Structure 1
Amino acid sequence: MFILDTENLINTLKENNQTLWEYALNQEMERSGRTREELREQMDQSLSVMERSAQKARREPVRSVSGLTGGNACLYEQYRQEGKSLLGEVASLAVGMALSCSEINASMQCIVACPTAGSCGIVPAAVLACAQSRGLDRECMVNALFTASAIGIIIGSRATVSGAEGGCQAECGAAAAMGAAAVTEMLGGSPEAAFHAAAMALKNVLGLTCDPVAGLVEIPCIKRNASGAMNALLSADLALAGVKSYIPFDEVVDAMYAIGKAMPQSVRETAKGGLAVTPTGMRLRHGNNKGEEK
């Protein structure tokens, strides 16, 4: 049984001299009856899909099926390659990758829902950008994805990763927490540090609504993936520096769930509130978009 109380889980990991990724992998072996090699191969396949989705829309403009969005990943990549970005190498690369994954999703191409399609760019962007900039190998990236899965399991079990149930804090917030923990362990941080990173990432977006324009996972979802990747990297950086979250991760998750329940239905993926009902949001909903994202 997966331990959902983070204090108990951290103590268990310390006693067994075990990382979060090792624990998650062993738990999945026990649950599924599959071998370590089979599970690592499956995760490696997911990593390959992430790599493709993080690259494709940066190389050539990709438009969404609706025509509302597209081309921003390519536009940002050109800007980044020209050395104009205000961000450092890792952060700017992560932003481009997150945009690419999200635009690939909006164009109905293959992505990994990690943990959801609407938040699919955050974990890949954080892990791939960090690994590329630090020269980390594929095994490290696969391990990091198992770390991310541990965080996702806790959030999904104690609360939700659904925007319809908990707002975007439950989607992009969960993804940012997963990415933050993954990067922390990937760079040598302890499981305790990984939980601090996850807690900080989720705290940063508590109360974030899910208000998709025209009911599509495009506006503001695509750009929220970019900010979510930045959130993940920042939170990991803080944790690796020794900064701790005063509120334990599982308590942050519980608070997120309570906030989600308190949110009006209009801002939980119904497209009946927030940005979706602004004058521009309503115009885009009714098709007068001229092919431009606002």
Structure 2
Amino acid sequence: MLARSGKELLRICEEENISLSEYAIRVEMEDKGLSREEVYEKMAKNLKVMKDGATEGREKEVYSLSGLIGGDGYKIQKYLEKGDTLTGDVTVKAMAMALSSSEVNAGMGRIVACPTAGSCGILPAVILSAGEKLGKTDEELIDALFTSAAVGMIIGMNATLSGAEGGCQAECGSAAAMGSAAVVEMMGGTPRMSLDAAAIVIKNVLGLVCDPVAGLVEIPCAKRNAAGAISALCTADMVMAGVSSKIPFDDTVSAMYKVGKSLPSALRETAMGGVAVTKAGLELRKKVFGEE
């Protein structure tokens, strides 16, 4: 039953006439020896934590322990409430939610590391903003999380979800791919369309480095969560319009893994490259560690 590639995943879904979410639910039931109700209950707890994290930083200013980031989720929420955004309520709300979760994480609050702590804002922002727009119930949001899990499992088996191993493309890129696939299913798309969305997202972030200032998952990570959420939502719309990926999902995952392995260690979460070693990045590092 366990698929080890996107191709196998599609074959199972087509043969069984099931969705990606149903596939993930069945795998979890079989792997953990749980009933469907127990599996849903566990995922419902994740959804609750995601909702809390995506809300807290929009209702009040939340700052990281280092003081490097904070208050941006609140700022964007207030901007949204003015009602004159350029890109519309869904995208702006998604950015606010993504930043909120990232700020809660950096403030040592409770989040769901899905697939990682550094990319924790993307999936909640995508699922919750799309769910609100589409009028989805909590049960349908839980299904969407299972859809994302189906995609995440394949990425984890064939590439990496770790920034230290594959750069930010492996963290924020994977999270955005998972989220986009989930939204496509939420909108009535097929499993193949969901994997097309995931493939397009991955292609668009190939080579994205991991370069955290001061070695902390804050700058530029939080804003990359906001960007990843928007990428996921826009790609879902693209696929629902009939656009497909000329490069199959499995090939994009393979490419991401090879690109990640090709990145020098300075660009893989070591804070020795990218924006981490710019003049401003080094000054912020000194401030965090009291080296001034």
**TM-score using structure 2 length:** 0.97
Indicate whether 1:150 and 2:160 are aligned. Answer: no
Q: Structure 2, unaligned stretches of length 5 or more?
A: none
**Aligned pairs for 1:235-254 within 5 A:** 235-254=235-254
% same residue: 54
1:16 alignment partner in structure 2:
16
* 2:27 pairs with 1:27: yes
- Asked if 1:196 corresponds to 2:202, the answer is no
Q: Does the alignment pair 1:78 with 2:78?
A: yes
Question: Contact 2:214 / 2:288 at 8 angstroms: preserved in 1?
Answer: no
Deviation at 1:97, TM superposition (A): 0.5
Query: How far off its partner does 1:40 sit?
Result: 0.4
CA 1:121–1:288 in 2, change beyond 3 Å: closer, same or farther? closer
1:213-248 per-residue CA deviation (whole Å, 9 max, x = no partner) reads: 000000000000000000100111111111100111
Q: Which residue of 1 aligns with 2:231?
A: 231
Q: Which amino acid aligns with 1:257?
A: Y
Cα distance in 1 for partners of 2:160, 2:124 equals: 20
Structure 2 match to 1:67: 67
Alpha-carbon displacement from aligned partner over 1:12-43 (angstroms, at most 9, x marks no partner):
21121100000011011111111111110000
CA distance in 1, matches of 2:11, 2:283: 54
**1:9 CA displacement:** 2.1
In structure 1, what is the Cα distance between the partners aligned to 2:168 and 2:256? Answer: 10
For the Cα contact (< 8 Å) 1:54–1:125, is it kept in 2? yes
Paired position in structure 2 for 1:99? 99
| Structure 1 runs (4+) greater than 4 angstroms displaced | none
Instruction: Show the counterpart of 2:130.
Output: 130
Instruction: Give the deviation of 1:8 after TM superposition.
Output: 2.8
- Distance in 1 (CA, whole Å) between partners of 2:122 and 2:105 is 13
Give the match for residue 111 of structure 2.
Answer: 111
Alignment of 1:200-211 (within 5 A): 200-211=200-211
Give the Cα separation in 1 of the matches to 2:68 and 2:230. Answer: 24
Higher mean alpha-carbon deviation, 278-287 vs 76-85, is at 76-85
Q: Which AA in structure 2 matches 1:79?
A: Y
Cα distance in 1 between the residues matched to 2:245 and 2:3:
20
TM-score (normalised: structure 1): 0.97
Q: Secondary structure at the match of 1:204?
A: helix
Conserved? CA contact 1:89–1:133, under 8 Å: no
